[in-house]
Amino acid sequence: MSAAPEHLVDEATPWVDEALAGLGRARTGAIEIHRERPWAIVAWFPTKGGRVWLKANHEAFGHEGELLQLLADQLQDTVLEPLAVHAEQGWFLADDGGPTADEEGAAAPPAEAIVDLYVRTQQASTAVLSELAGAGVPTLRTAHLIERFDAAVAHPLAGDGSQRCASLRETVLDLCGRIGDGDLVITNSDVKPSHVFVGPPPRLFDWGDAVLANPLLGAGTIRRSFGDPAMKQFVEAWGRDISSPAVAAATSLVDLVNLDVWLRDPSAALDRHPGQINKLLHQLADRLAQPHC
């Protein structure tokens, strides 16, 4: 994300108009900033074919457009396919996806349908792992989690969460060993109803946080967003039993997976949310204090 919010529109407009022209489309109104965060700026503009969104990611997440294109090429109608991608800038354009599952209530897809959609997307990603890595999607092998743990504990903003977690390093190592590495797939630590377009067909969006990882590392996210039955469905789709030590270990480390995202975030994100590292370390310590099998 090379431009500040006030300059993004001026910088992006020539590329937006050129990309639209290549699609046989044109803007019918101004580009307007919709949301500004340290990790991404989202803007929108009207066209004769409907509203189009522009997302400008910080460089740590600038691979999202290419990621979405690679996934869409493998499996149609599971993710929001970009209209155009500017890989160097971390920009992409996409049509409006419509209402999201958190907005639709009873009309939203059930949790089991969303989990199935996510698993099918993950399974499709195995065909393009090298391309995803080449686009800049980080790899988070289980062995890397201890590095993230050490970095979080040593972080200047770790607060008293650092003291609680410092003595738990061996526990983290043990849990990582129970999970093992396994095969890598695209794993999104932010799957939730507000990131699902209802459709039809329903589609997943907001993949900037995604990594290439053991699929079990996503189990805790599914549990947090959709509950225990959904997590059971998720882990069984990967041939695991809900009561297995590997699954228990993976769910115990969900806050460490989330810490990985914050450690990659621009410093401005922690300036805005200075207690986030401390909060997640406390949550991690709470989970590590519970039985893991």
Decide which of 62, 95, 128 is a domain's last residue. Answer: 95
Q: What is the pLDDT of residue 7?
A: 83
The answer to whether 122 and 222 have CB atoms below 8 angstroms apart is: no
Give the contacts of 11 (CB within 8 A, at least 6 positions apart). Answer: 2, 3
The pLDDT of residue 238 is above 90: yes
> Where do runs of H (alpha helix) occur along 181-253?
219-226, 228-237, 245-252
Q: What is the pLDDT of residue 4?
A: 61
Q: What is the pLDDT of residue 145?
A: 95
pTM for this predicted structure: 0.93
If asked whether residues 144 and 33 sit together in one domain, one would say no
**Mean pLDDT score, 158-171:** 96
Decide which of 63, 95, 127 is a domain's last residue. Answer: 95
Position 293 in a domain? no
Report the SS3 class of residue 240. coil
Position 100 in a domain? no
AA identity, residue 270: L
If asked whether residues 133 and 72 sit together in one domain, one would say no
Give the contacts of 272 (CB within 8 A, at least 6 positions apart). Answer: 38
Token pair of 174 as six digits: 């043990």
If asked whether residues 206 and 242 sit together in one domain, one would say yes
The pLDDT of residue 258 is above 60: yes
Position 262 in a domain? yes
**Mean pLDDT score, 209-213:** 96
Residue 220's CATH number: 3.90.1200.10
Number of domains in the chain: 2
Position 101 in a domain? no
The pLDDT of residue 293 is above 60: no
Q: What is the pLDDT of residue 105?
A: 82
If asked whether residues 76 and 210 sit together in one domain, one would say no
Residue 47's CATH number: 3.30.200
If asked whether residues 154 and 197 sit together in one domain, one would say yes
If asked whether residues 89 and 137 sit together in one domain, one would say no
User: Structural domain of residue 71, as residue ranges?
Assistant: 5-95
If asked whether residues 157 and 232 sit together in one domain, one would say yes
If asked whether residues 161 and 28 sit together in one domain, one would say no
Position 166 in a domain? yes
If asked whether residues 129 and 271 sit together in one domain, one would say yes
Position 30 in a domain? yes
**Mean pLDDT score, 54-70:** 96
Report the SS3 class of residue 94. strand
d(CA 94, CA 89): 16
Position 38 in a domain? yes
If asked whether residues 166 and 83 sit together in one domain, one would say no
Q: What is the average pLDDT score of the chain? A: 94
If asked whether residues 41 and 76 sit together in one domain, one would say yes
Cα dihedral 127, 131, 137, 138, rounded to 10, equals 80
Q: What is the pLDDT of residue 96?
A: 96
When pLDDT is cut at 50, 70 and 90, the band that residue 77 belongs to is: confident
* pLDDT tens for each residue of 267-285: 899 999 999 999 999 999 9
When pLDDT is cut at 50, 70 and 90, the band that residue 6 belongs to is: low
Q: What is the pLDDT of residue 57?
A: 95
If asked whether residues 126 and 262 sit together in one domain, one would say yes
When pLDDT is cut at 50, 70 and 90, the band that residue 225 belongs to is: very high
The pLDDT of residue 2 is above 90: no
Position 102 in a domain? no
* pLDDT tens for each residue of 90-149: 999 999 999 999 998 878 899 999 999 999 999 999 999 999 999 999 999 999 999 999
The pLDDT of residue 65 is above 60: yes
**Mean pLDDT score, 151-175:** 97
Decide which of 74, 95, 116 is a domain's last residue. Answer: 95
The pLDDT of residue 1 is above 60: no
